[in-house]
Structure 1
Amino acid sequence: MIPPEHSGRSELRRRTVLGGGLGLGLGILLAACGGRPAAAPQVNVQGPPVSGGELRVGFVGGGASDTLDGAVATNLGDIARAINLYNTLMYFDHDYTLQPMLATAATPNDDATVWTVQLREGVKFCDGRPLRPEDVIASYMRIIDPDDPKSGAASLAHLDEIAKTGENEIEFRLSVADSAFLNNFGSYSNIIVPEDFDPAAPVGTGPFMLDSFTPAMSTVMVRNPHFWGDEGPYLDEVSLLNFNDTDALINALLSNQVDAIAQIPPALVEVIGADERINILDSVTGMYMPFTMRVDREPFDDVKVRQAFRLAVDRPGMLEQVLSGRGTVGNDMFAVFGEGYPKDLPQREQDIEEAKRLLAEAGYPDGLEVELVTAPIQSGVVEAAQVFAEQAAEAGITVTINRMDLTTYWTDYLNYDFSQTFWYTRDFLGQSNAGMMPDAPFNETHWDDEEYIDLVGRIRSETDDAKRQELIGQAQEILYDRGGLIIWGFANQIDAYQSYVGGLEEDRSGVPLSGFQLHKVWIGEVR
């Protein structure tokens, strides 16, 4: 993050490309407010939601490639547009639990090779046309188009056929069993659009519809009068505003140029939160920023080297120095909120002497020199590289950091021997399909473990919940023992907003500002 979220056009498909640094001091922050924070207005956001008004949302990132096509969402603006202009068949709620959206039910047959979806009745697109099964079929065929695959295509490779089987019923027919196929229905990029969809003039069923769009600058969305949901939208208008760096973003919040901002550096939470006009939204998530070791190249083709690198990490120290303690310690396995996550495995801790011993057994008794390729792809990534280099030195690992600009980094990132990446909250199979299988589009470690691959196949076809969870636990243990990821922690998603904004809640997805579910947000009344 999905998240997730990609495939087709480029290797940037799931990436939220953000810049900005941590070079903000208290003086700079307060300067935006004329030297002292103004008194907080008395605003009622505890009562029932209030209709009307405009919400101005700021974030860092975006560029000429910004898109209105939610099926190829790349950066934060793309994701916000995807979630608010369109709907998916299902969605993940704030607890990261799948809930009905345009579909009211999704049911598998006995061997999970066919999924039957019941569509919600009475749904209209923002131009007033009714949602039909034909639109859903066309939407998914567009996603898996072999000539122009969209972000969700990687997880839908086994989708053979989609057929209308009733007035509001569709069957998804698969080439292989997939007991978790319905999770694809909740991916924000698997948007449902009309059969004649034109990304240049987008039509969706989301809570808002497009008013104006200027790539790299701004998007204005207005209330969809045909929205089918029973909650919101309360706002008349939402403006999404691009900023070049974190300094400008935070100063815009403190000077009241925006009402909410996405992704603030953890180190600045206390400073920004000291302004009584500002609230902090701090969400525990499954988003992680791992170090990636290519298991098909020296020195990381030796499992002892991979184990040594993992033991060189002081995970609580990394969490404190990189995230100011705002996160949870990782144990080299992903999908921490997913079924089957093995919480009983021992927490891996720093063990310098054992790391040295393993390196010596692997043929490096005098230590090892490696290059770590990094870039500011997500808040905290570059800082994590610097902390790792310091920690690993104790084990005789000399790390040379090669910091690249964003464009250069993403151009070739799947080929680096030792590097970094980030992922939003995902379930186990979704993450495996996207990043851990030999044919996955983002197999960053070039993982090709036969036992793991076999287990993933069995997990897909297992319809018994208890047995599937047991298999997932076995696959996760393989990652724990010999995987190519150093998952040192899971980062909190931290946003900030004016005290007069209501409806924002903590969200596990890793997507900012309550998963960008802005139809639930309102502007409070000043008392």
Structure 2
Amino acid sequence: MRKESYIKLQAQRLTTGQINRRRFIMSALATGVTLPTAISLAGRAEAMTPKQGGVFRMAVGHGSTTDSIDPATAENDFSTHVVYSRGNNLTEVSKSGELVGELAESFEPGDTASTWVFNLRPGVEFHNGKSLTAEDVIATMNYHRGEDSKSAAKGLVSQISSMRADGANRVIFELQSANADFPFIVSDYHLIILPSEDGVVDALSGIGTGGYVVETYEPGVRANFNRNPNYWKEGAAHFDRYELLSILDATARQNAVMNGDVDFAGDIPPNTVALMSRVPTIDILKTTGTQHYTFPMRLNVEPFDNYDLRMALKYSIKRQELVDKILLGHGEAGNDVPVNASMPFFNPDLPSHEFNPELAAEHYAKSGHSGPIQLSAADAAFAGAVDAAQLIAASAKEAGIDIEVVREPSDGYWSNVWNKKGWCACYWSGRPTQDWMYSSAYTNDTEWNDTAWKGTESSARFNELVVQARAETDEAARRAQYYEAQSLLQNDGGAIVSMFASYLAAHSKALAHDEAVAANWANDGNKAQERWWFA
């Protein structure tokens, strides 16, 4: 262990320029390693030293021609990459999963967690040369809070009762009630800070404080960026140019990275991982986080307003079969809550919604429904979504339930199917905290309540619990509140959370990155363009 620690220390000295390559090799030889090993160790250490330059080409399996450059409406990984390339948030989740300041140099609560103070970094400039001020933060948040706002983050910021600037670089938020997780909320990708003029932001300008400046933007097709020469963040955004491509077809995407047409391909289907891992020029990146695949049933569309029908469908699914056949083991079965053991206050004793054809048939008989039930799916939702829908239809048939799988076009899926049709396939990248996840997709005030779970006694109680837990500082009481919220959502809600899926990507071995890779989103937190470099 002492030898390994010594070599690691020498490697750090090499990468920081304290010693040269020859000195490192001599030091390694002194520990007893062979010359080839010492040379290899030197090469690995040097590869971990970030270098600037090159054109980074990335392909993702999401994107639609209905996308917009407006961060408020970003709804897939293509849009999230665009957002994170051009802008920054007040806070961010680091590569190691910790919440750290980004545009905010520091943040702290007031006397209670209903007041939060954010101190902005001095000297930060937008791409147009404007200096970042507290007024920009306030105008940005108001853009999402507005009465007519269609922002997906409206539910997240609705808890803000007022904001005020205390000088140019200090913002004070007053919340409707205490929220210990509020600093996490402002790291949401919709909430990048935009430049303001007279208290108004132009969300379509493409201007931000980020490491890359938008050159061209074609919704759902491609986006090209050039490095921001005045980027405030040191040791980040190493590429001279970044090219983002939307390639929805999985085979085309994997061929692109294998042929060298792109350097990085996200959303690799599990069934191709074994094959691609044998390609000598490619590495497979696998990270495990909170990503989950769902089949939301909208309660405002018949017959999904029927409690017994929802329960019948929940018990008619062979979840482990989905993990085995769709994820090929790269994940775990879901349990109809968007929470797993990686998140705080997860209830490990929540009853399992395992395949039970007898119970499913019993609930289905109580529902009084007859005839086929339509389930819309496209692989734009997630790789293998159509096949997953077919497996659900097959298992439901064993319970006497007829499911008709509707194959939808991939382009426009998120605008024309999701959040509109009664039952469809969907994916969620998940969130670091329960409050954030619930506020994004399950509370009454969010635009992305894709189950339209409103109007039931359980949903009303759930919304009360989310507010209460948000303000609760006693850990035991907060755990009890979240346990009850999980139970209500699992039992009465419209979400079928079928499986949690690992993030899978393939990239050229010419790329390098730190040992720590973020798991809060795909592709190193959707920030590979900022965190990676060419070795």
Please report the TM-score for the alignment, with normalisation by the length of structure 1. 0.83
* SS of match in other structure, 2:156: helix
Change in Cα spacing, 1:414 to 1:204, as seen in structure 2 (3 Å) is closer
Greater shift in the superposed pair: 302-311 or 389-398: 302-311
Amino acid at match of 1:411: N
Pick one of 276, 279, 283 that aligns with 1:275: 279
Tell me if 1:321 matches 2:325: yes
State the partner residue of 1:434. 440
Pick one of 358, 361, 364 that aligns with 1:356: 361
Q: Could you tell me how far 1:392 is from its partner in structure 2? A: 1.2
Amino acid at match of 1:432: Y
Change in Cα spacing, 1:47 to 1:303, as seen in structure 2 (3 Å) is same
Tell me if 1:495 matches 2:505: yes
Alignment length (residue pairs)? 481
State the partner residue of 2:526. 515
Amino acid at match of 2:326: V
* SS of match in other structure, 1:388: helix
* SS of match in other structure, 1:171: strand
Per-residue CA deviation, residues 296-318 of structure 1 (Å, 9 max, x unaligned), is 66654454443332222221111
**Distance in 2 separating the partners of 1:227 and 1:312:** 52
State the partner residue of 1:333. 337
**Distance in 2 separating the partners of 1:204 and 1:398:** 50
State the partner residue of 1:112. 113
State the partner residue of 1:24. none
Tell me if 1:381 matches 2:385: yes
Per-residue CA deviation, residues 92-126 of structure 1 (Å, 9 max, x unaligned), is 22454322111133333445332211222332334
Tell me if 1:400 matches 2:411: no
State the partner residue of 1:473. 483
State the partner residue of 1:203. 207
Tell me if 1:372 matches 2:382: no
Greater shift in the superposed pair: 387-396 or 208-217: 208-217
How many percent of aligned residue pairs carry the same amino acid? 27
Per-residue CA deviation, residues 384-424 of structure 1 (Å, 9 max, x unaligned), is 11110111111111111122224377336445343332222
RMSD value over aligned CA atoms? Answer: 2.8
Pick one of 404, 420, 423 that aligns with 2:425: 420
**Distance in 1 separating the partners of 2:303 and 2:202:** 48
**Distance in 1 separating the partners of 2:98 and 2:404:** 41
* SS of match in other structure, 1:56: strand
Amino acid at match of 2:329: G
* SS of match in other structure, 1:115: strand
Tell me if 1:460 matches 2:464: no
**Distance in 2 separating the partners of 1:144 and 1:61:** 27
Per-residue CA deviation, residues 316-354 of structure 1 (Å, 9 max, x unaligned), is 111111112211211111132332111222433222233
* SS of match in other structure, 1:193: coil
Q: Could you tell me how far 1:266 is from its partner in structure 2? A: 1.3
**Distance in 2 separating the partners of 1:442 and 1:421:** 12
**Distance in 2 separating the partners of 1:299 and 1:241:** 39
Amino acid at match of 1:381: A
Aligned 8 A contact 2:376 2:417 in 1:
no
Aligned 8 A contact 2:62 2:380 in 1:
no
* SS of match in other structure, 2:117: strand
**Distance in 2 separating the partners of 1:258 and 1:507:** 21
Amino acid at match of 1:173: E
**Distance in 2 separating the partners of 1:130 and 1:408:** 39
Q: Could you tell me how far 1:258 is from its partner in structure 2? A: 1.1
Per-residue CA deviation, residues 155-203 of structure 1 (Å, 9 max, x unaligned), is 2123232201244211112334434322221111101122245456533
Change in Cα spacing, 1:339 to 1:439, as seen in structure 2 (3 Å) is same
Q: Could you tell me how far 1:376 is from its partner in structure 2? A: 3.1
Aligned 8 A contact 1:281 1:513 in 2:
no
State the partner residue of 1:220. 224
Pick one of 434, 450, 456 that aligns with 2:460: 450
**Distance in 2 separating the partners of 1:61 and 1:425:** 16
Q: Could you tell me how far 1:460 is from its partner in structure 2? A: 2.7
Q: How do 1:50-89 residues align onto structure 2 when only pairs under 5 Å count?
A: 50-89=51-90
Aligned 8 A contact 1:289 1:487 in 2:
yes
Change in Cα spacing, 1:143 to 1:442, as seen in structure 2 (3 Å) is closer
* SS of match in other structure, 1:186: coil
Change in Cα spacing, 1:299 to 1:72, as seen in structure 2 (3 Å) is closer
Per-residue CA deviation, residues 230-273 of structure 1 (Å, 9 max, x unaligned), is 32222222122333633322222122111111212111111122
**Distance in 1 separating the partners of 2:226 and 2:295:** 41
State the partner residue of 1:250. 254
* SS of match in other structure, 2:174: strand
* SS of match in other structure, 1:348: coil
Aligned 8 A contact 2:118 2:170 in 1:
yes
Q: Could you tell me how far 1:148 is from its partner in structure 2? A: 4.6
Aligned 8 A contact 1:332 1:486 in 2:
yes
Greater shift in the superposed pair: 293-302 or 131-140: 293-302
Change in Cα spacing, 1:88 to 1:121, as seen in structure 2 (3 Å) is same
**Distance in 1 separating the partners of 2:124 and 2:141:** 18
Aligned 8 A contact 2:66 2:415 in 1:
no
Aligned 8 A contact 1:124 1:130 in 2:
yes
State the partner residue of 2:132. 131
Amino acid at match of 1:518: Q
> Gaps (5+ residues) in structure 2?
1-41
**Distance in 1 separating the partners of 2:361 and 2:248:** 43
Aligned 8 A contact 1:291 1:487 in 2:
yes
**Distance in 2 separating the partners of 1:315 and 1:46:** 42
Aligned 8 A contact 1:313 1:349 in 2:
yes
Per-residue CA deviation, residues 126-175 of structure 1 (Å, 9 max, x unaligned), is 44443221222222222323345433223212323220124421111233
* SS of match in other structure, 1:249: helix
Specify which structure has the higher proportion of helix.
2
Q: Could you tell me how far 1:229 is from its partner in structure 2? A: 1.9
